Structure 1
Amino acid sequence: MPGGAAARALALNVIIHEERSMNRDRGTETVGDSHEPAQGWTRLAPLSGVVFFVLLVASAVTAQDTPEEYASGAKVLSFFKAHESTTKASALLAGLGVVFLIFFASWLRTYLRSRGASALATAVFGGAVVIGVGGAARAGISWALASGHDKIDPSAAQALGVLHASHYPAVVGIAIFMFATWLSVLRTRALPQWLGWLALPIALIAIVPPTLIPLLAAGVWILIASIVMYVRGGQTGRAA
């Protein structure tokens, strides 16, 4: 499939640039690695963040307002029975969004490490992984409730409903991702300073209280950062 080939090509180029970044850290980079303009799929790799944002918005728009956190099991099952198709569509879009989030975070880590933010860049990627795990888990619960609304016991459905209503794992990841990015930008100026400072309030509000608002705010930040890195040409060489 063309989409599968594109994803494989994108993943391969992310791996190549990660290896180059590791070589720079060890002082073993080859001539031509530093400051090379990105080409082909590597040039487009930063735009994986744009794809993530589009999928995030599409998933949010497709989803219906779910029952409150402590709704009865019968109410939870009734909701997912009535909205089975839209719930599955939203979950699928969210799952695809997680894939592109990890691609973007891999590129961002390489981008930051090449400019001197080695440990902080790892924290940025780790935060994205936590976001991805939280998002994938929530999408999985949605799919399970939509698919098994006629098979799941009401008490189990109520427990799953409580887990589904919680955004805590994802927003903890957002706090890590945004705070580490803020520190990285302050230290390296790899991205515009205003973009770094924009990450700080997102990190601070992420877990007070845990809602979807920080996720959408982080999505907007990722969208802007993706475009900035793309406009800069996707170079991963250390800044002079």
Structure 2
Amino acid sequence: MTERHELRWGGFAGFAFVVLAVVAALMPGLPPRVTASADEISSYVADGQGRLMVAALLWAVSAALVIWFAAAFAEALREREERSDVHIALMAGAVLLGTAIFMYGVALAVVANGLTGRDVALTVGVFQATMVLNAMIGLAAAVPLTAAGMGVLRTRMLPDWLGYVALAAAVISGITALTIFATSGSFVPGGSYLPIVTLVAGGIFVLSASGYMAREHLPSAVPMGQMRTQ
């Protein structure tokens, strides 16, 4: 059984990550698709310039929080199965995800900052790149979610259903990244609720795991393959 304040703070970081990420995703409103007209894109950026800047800051903070949460979770996995590489994959994936989220926040800030006097074509180009980056976050999220799901099922440190939730969220996240291949229709990057669906899927796992972590204890470990005697 793990009982440390670091575990609790990691749980609080998970809660804060989900809250900030949801607010950051919803604050600017639904963006236009990358195939939208230049006028539509430039109007969206101009009308929501302030909201985009705030959202950029929230995304940057949430990037650090998700790494903090994953570090505490990975440490709990390591304590239960030191010879496994799952906790390393989780930590590496979390750094990849945090970096992708931070870069998305930077891209949003670049889109919104210095809009006055900037060529419309440049604004449109940066916006399109930002929406593609947003879609690619789904692929980055799939890595730590897969590792977390495998870790839960291997160590039994959380209920099995939570491991399956993480794996399902990983699949959904990976599918979202495939939208970068769409050149027309409702699945092109931007103008879609798919990134929010990905956030919700992963958020369910993070919130549930954070709830256990915030109580400063996790169930005792039962290695994979060992029959439960209870």
Bin for the TM-score computed over the shorter chain: 0.7 to 0.9
Q: Answer whether contact 1:168 1:207 (CA < 8 A) is retained.
A: no
Residue in 1 that maps onto 2:43: 78
Report the CA distance shift for 1:48/1:209 in structure 2 as closer, same or farther (over 3 A).
closer
Which letter maps to 1:173? A
* Offset at residue 64 of structure 1 (A): 1.7
SS of the aligned residue for 1:152 comes to coil
Q: Answer whether contact 1:130 1:169 (CA < 8 A) is retained.
A: no
Q: Answer whether contact 1:55 1:97 (CA < 8 A) is retained.
A: yes
Q: Does 1:208 align with 2:175?
A: yes
SS of the aligned residue for 1:190 comes to coil
Residue in 1 that maps onto 2:77: 112
Measure the CA separation in 2 of the matches of 1:36 and 1:216. 28
* Offset at residue 150 of structure 1 (A): 1.8
Unaligned ranges ≥5, structure 1: 1-34
Residue in 1 that maps onto 2:181: none
* Offset at residue 98 of structure 1 (A): 1.0
Q: Answer whether contact 1:181 1:196 (CA < 8 A) is retained.
A: yes
* Offset at residue 235 of structure 1 (A): 6.5
Report the CA distance shift for 1:237/1:130 in structure 2 as closer, same or farther (over 3 A).
same
* Offset at residue 221 of structure 1 (A): 1.1
Q: Does 1:38 align with 2:4?
A: yes
Number of residue pairs matched by the alignment: 204
Instruction: Report the TM-score when normalising by structure 2.
Output: 0.79
Residue in 1 that maps onto 2:206: 222
* Offset at residue 119 of structure 1 (A): 0.8
* Offset at residue 169 of structure 1 (A): 2.8
Correspondence 1:90-101 to 2 at 5 A: 90-101=55-66
SS of the aligned residue for 1:195 comes to helix
Q: Does 1:161 align with 2:94?
A: no
Measure the CA separation in 2 of the matches of 1:114 and 1:99. 23
Measure the CA separation in 1 of the matches of 2:31 and 2:159. 38
Two-structure CA RMSD over aligned residues (Å): 2.4
SS of the aligned residue for 1:47 comes to helix
4+ aligned runs moved over 6 Å, structure 1:
235-240
Q: Answer whether contact 1:110 1:236 (CA < 8 A) is retained.
A: no
Measure the CA separation in 1 of the matches of 2:92 and 2:28. 27
Match of 2:15 among 42, 45, 50: 50
* Offset at residue 141 of structure 1 (A): 1.3
Deviation larger for 217-226 or 201-210 = 201-210
Q: Answer whether contact 2:155 2:221 (CA < 8 A) is retained.
A: no
Match of 1:148 among 110, 114, 117: 114
Match of 1:178 among 136, 139, 145: 145
SS of the aligned residue for 1:208 comes to helix
Match of 2:160 among 193, 201, 206: 193
Unaligned ranges ≥5, structure 2: 178-193, 224-230
Measure the CA separation in 2 of the matches of 1:187 and 1:89. 40
Residue in 2 that maps onto 1:28: none
Q: Answer whether contact 2:2 2:76 (CA < 8 A) is retained.
A: no
CA deviations on 1:94-143 (whole Å, 9 max, x unpaired) are 11111111111111111111110641111112222222122112211111
Measure the CA separation in 1 of the matches of 2:38 and 2:91. 37
Deviation larger for 144-153 or 189-198 = 144-153
